Amino acid sequence: MGVRLHKKYGPIVRIGPNQLSYIDPRAWKDIQGHRVGGRGGFPKDRSLMGHQEHSDILHADDATHTRQRRIFSHAFSEKALREQESLIRGYTDLLVSKLEEKTSRRDGHTKDNTTTVDIVRMYNFTTFDIMADLTFGEPLGMLQDGDYVPWVSNIFSSVKYMVMGTFLRVYPIFGRLFAPLLSSSLKAEMEKHTKYSNDRVDRRLQYDKDRGDIWSLVQRNADLNNISRGEMYANAQIFMIAGTETTATLLSGLTFLLCRNSDKLRILCREIRSLHLQDLNIINLQRLPYLNACLEEGLRMYPPAPGVVPRVAPQGGSTVCGQFVPEGTATSVAQYAAYTSAYNFADPHDFVPERWFAEPPEKYAEDNKEVVQPFSYGPRNCIGKNLAYHEMRLILAIVLWKFDIELADKNSNWIKQKSFGIWEKPPLDVHLYFREGCM
C-alpha cells in the first residue's frame, strides 16, 4: 500500500489522522538522528508496543537502551566478531557439506538422485544454528539433522504475534474480531518461545564457559549486575528473532536476484573465486567491492524487515524534511517504498550492484543511496549490524566459491511476496553444481 500511495502522492503522505509516511532520505536524520542543542528526539510510539515486564534493547526507553547497549556492545564489537569467526565458519562449512550431498556433477549424476535444493530452508538452518550457539552456547542441530526444531516454528509465530498485536493497537476497531484468535493460537506459540529461550539463558549462565559467545563476552567486559535476569531473557528472545530469519532472508533474496541476473552472478563469482578458499575470511571479504555492492543492492530491493517502526514528534513539535510536524504525530520512513521509488533511484526495479560503487555509472550517480537504512538509523540502529554483514558475506562467498547455482524454475516470480513484519517466503528451489576443481 505504501508503494502505491507514495507513487501517487509524493515523498510525504498522510496515511492516517495522525500519521505521516516519508520516502525522502532526509527523514531518517530528522526523525531518528542524533539530537544537538538539547532538542528532544522522536521517541518510539509506546502505544504500539504493549505491556512488557522486562525491556529489551529494541523496545526500551532511551535511558534503558543506552545502558543495555553499553553492556552488549562488547559482544558485537569488531574484536568480538573476529573471535566468533571460527564458529560462523564452522557452520558455513557444515552448510557446504550438506549442500554437497544434494549437488549435481555436470554430467547429470547426483549423489542422492535429486538436484533440487530449497536454499531458503538451508540458509534458515545455518543462521538459526549460528545465533543459537552465540546466544545460548549450544547449537540447535538443524543443519546436522536437516529439519526445523519446534522452537524455530515458535519464533516464526512469535513474530506474527508481535506484528498482529501492533496492528490491533493501531486499529483497535478490529480488536473484537481478531483478539480471540490472537490469544488462542499465536499467543501460545509466543509463550513457548519465551519459556524455551528463558530456560536456555538459565542453562548457559550456570556454567562458566569462555567460548566467545554473547554471554562470555558480556561477562568478560561488563558488570552483569547492571542488567537483570529478566532483561537477559528479553534480549535473548530478541537476538534469536532479529539475528536469524532476517539474515537468511537477505541471503535468500540475493540468491534469487543473482540467479535472475546471470551477468551479475558471473562477475561476483569471478571476484570471489580470485581468492583461495582459505583466504575467504571476514577481513578479506570486507575488501571485495562487487560482493559488498551486491549485498547493498540486495538490501535495497529485498529489505529483510520491510515494515516501519513509528516515532512520535516530541513536545512542541519538530521539523521533518523542511516542514513542521505537530507534537504527537506518528512519523516513519516507508522502507520498501523508499528503496524502490524512482524518487530515489534510477531503474529502481532493476538489480544494479554498480550503483553502489564509489564512482558509479553516470546514470546512477544521483541515486539517493543514503535512504537505504535496513538496520535503522541513529543511536538506536541495529547493534548486530556488523555481525549480520560478516555472516552474509562469509556464507554467500563460500557457497558461490564451491558451487555453480541456478534457479530450478527459470520463470519463478519468487520475490513477489506478502509481508507481515517479515516476508512470507515460499521455498526457493535451486540447482547446485560442483564447480570444476572443487570436488
Instruction: Find the mean pLDDT for residues 38-50.
Output: 70
The H-assigned helical ranges of 37-118 are 62-72, 78-100
Count of CB atoms situated within 10 Å of the CB of 162 = 18
**CATH number where 29 lies:** 1.10.630.10
CA-CA distance, 135 to 220, in Å (whole number)?
A: 15
In a domain, 439, yes or no: no
Least confident range from 206-210, 299-303, 420-424: namely 206-210
In a domain, 428, yes or no: yes
Model pLDDT for residues 376-414, shown as the tens digit of each residue? 999 999 999 999 999 999 999 999 999 999 999 988 899
Q: Indicate if the pLDDT at residue 257 is higher than 50.
A: yes
Total domain count, the chain: 1
Least confident range from 162-166, 214-218, 378-382, 420-424: namely 162-166
- Residue 242 has φ and ψ, to the nearest 5°, of -80, -25
Q: Report the binding-site residues for heme.
A: 382
Domain that holds residue 91: 2-434
- State whether the Cα torsion 427-428-431-437 is positive or negative: negative
Model pLDDT for residues 314-347, shown as the tens digit of each residue? 999 999 999 999 999 999 999 999 999 999 999 9
The pLDDT of residue 335: 95
Instruction: Find the mean pLDDT for residues 139-159.
Output: 85
Q: Report the binding-site residues.
A: 382
Looking at the chain, the whole-number percentage of residues with pLDDT higher than 70 is 85
Q: What is the DSSP letter of 327?
A: T
- Burial class, 379, CB count within 10 angstroms (exposed 0-12 / middle 13-18 / buried 19+): middle
CA-CA distance, 436 to 439, in Å (whole number)?
A: 7
Provide the mean pLDDT of the chain: 88
The model's confidence at residue 185, banded by pLDDT at 50, 70 and 90, is: low
In a domain, 238, yes or no: yes
- Asked if 251 and 392 touch (Cβ cutoff 8 Å), the reply is yes
Is pLDDT larger for residue 170 or for residue 100?
A: 100
Say which amino acid occupies 321: C
The model's confidence at residue 51, banded by pLDDT at 50, 70 and 90, is: low
Beta strands (DSSP E) in 249-350 are 311-312, 318-320, 323-325, 330-333
